[in-house]
Amino acid sequence: MASANVVNTIAKKRDGGVLTAAEIGAFVQGATDGSWADYQLTAMLMAIYLRGLDMAETCELTLAMLRSGTTLDLSSIPRRKVDKHSTGGVGDKISLHLAPMVAACGVVVPMISGRGLGHTGGTLDKLESIPGFNVVMPLERFRAQLKGTGVGIIGQTADLAPADGKLYALRDVSATVACIPLICASILSKKLAEGIDALVLDVKFGEGAFMPDLAKARELARLMVSVSNAAGVTTRALLTNMDQPTGRTVGNALELGESIECLQGRGPADTMELTLALGEQMLVLAGRSPSAPEARAELLRAVNNGTAWEKFLGMVRAQGGSADHVLHPERLPQAAVQTVLKAQQGGFLTAVHARRIAEVAHGLGAGRTRSGEAINPAVGVSHLVKVGERVEAGGELCRVHAATSGTAGAANQQLNTAFEIGPNPVPALPVVVEVIS
């Protein structure tokens, strides 16, 4: 009978029906305890992808996924707890350095992050480029780390939103990632489980985002802000541009290296602008700064006086990572082969296609094609030229980091179509387009 109920529930959503709270609860419970087979869960995910969920269904799915586990109790830490989450982009290494920067300003930052999803990279994969860095730990130990260092970045545990852990992995390999209600429920079930007081969302739009269209990204942002605020967590969302990669690197160890540069005040301008835009909102929502300009000044002080860097080192050490490798980034994983892609003509960069670059990095081994697959932390693309910048004929457009000369050559050929050059100057792409609260 239970199996028949499962099939009926899938068929109901397949045919465009509205699911009851009990039906959504059964779906989430099935993901948690294994009473729904993977193929049944995947069928329901595809039905939701094709038919959607209304506001009430989305709220119920989010809360059911939250209730599938426990909520982290951080009440013993008196300071405000604030997190940030990105919907996923290309070269999006922001969390790696943003979390310690905000923590250096006196705010506790508990981050529950994920691995690569679809064509985008994952924060946990990037951190694991540091030898020994542990992204899995019991909640008691995580709570103790937050009390001691004020910052931590870990993956989902068996305690926090376990249903999402299962569904997240299935979405990645079943072409059901870019679905607004599933994205909303996935993100917020984890974030609400953290015991945070406030949340800042980086909702990306453009070629390299899951939401290419600005209107769709705005819809997602408004939905997440509404659901999260209704759950009692003060939330704000930034709509940010993903028509080109963030920064100048795509790939796990390469992006980690760029984050280290940001913590030392040497990061690319667009990476730092996005970091500061998100960080100032985190400090304002935490009540740490009365205004965005004052919050930005405080974040820059934390970088310039070295306290943000010390917070990062403290987090690395607390989570078992090799501080030696971040103190000497040249010791991080290095690809066996590096090649340079040269411009065939001179002019100004008018487009840098983020999705194409992500697909090349993925093909080099920086991402997964199936759940649980190993990745190569060393491979990817670096030294990316940005939209609006000038390049000479024969000048460098980027560097490919590959495991073999064969894969490097194939990547170079694919990247030839990722850059568009014109004769006239064009403005740099905006980083933040809109703030939604």
User: Residue 75, exposed/middle/buried by CB under 10 A (0-12, 13-18, 19+)?
Assistant: exposed
8 Å CB contact between 114 and 155: yes
**Which 8-state DSSP code applies to residue 234?**
E
The answer to whether 291 touches 407, Cβ cutoff 8 Å, is: no
How far is the C-alpha of 302 from the C-alpha of 306, rounded, in Å? 6
The token pair at 404 is 């073999």
Provide the 3-class DSSP secondary structure of residue 141.
helix
Residue pair 278/246 in contact (Cβ under 8 Å)? The answer is: no
Start-to-end CA distance of the chain, whole Å, equals: 45
Kindly state the DSSP code that residue 155 receives in the 8-state scheme: -
The C-alpha atoms of residue 355 and residue 207 are separated, in whole angstroms, by: 6
- Residue 85's CB is within 10 A of a number of other CB atoms, namely 25
Residues forming the active site: 85, 164, 171, 186, 190
- Provide the sign of the torsion angle of the four alpha carbons 298, 303, 307, 308, taken in this order: positive
Judge whether 379 and 255 are in contact, CB under 8 Å. no
Closest by CA position to 312, among listed 280, 345, 268, 265: 265
Beta-ladder partners of 401: 338, 380
Phi, psi (degrees; rounded to nearest 5) at 88:
110, 130
How many other C-beta atoms lie within 10 A of the C-beta of residue 214? 15
Q: Measure CA 270 to chain center.
A: 16
| Single-letter residue type at 235 | T
CB atoms within 10 A of CB 12: 17
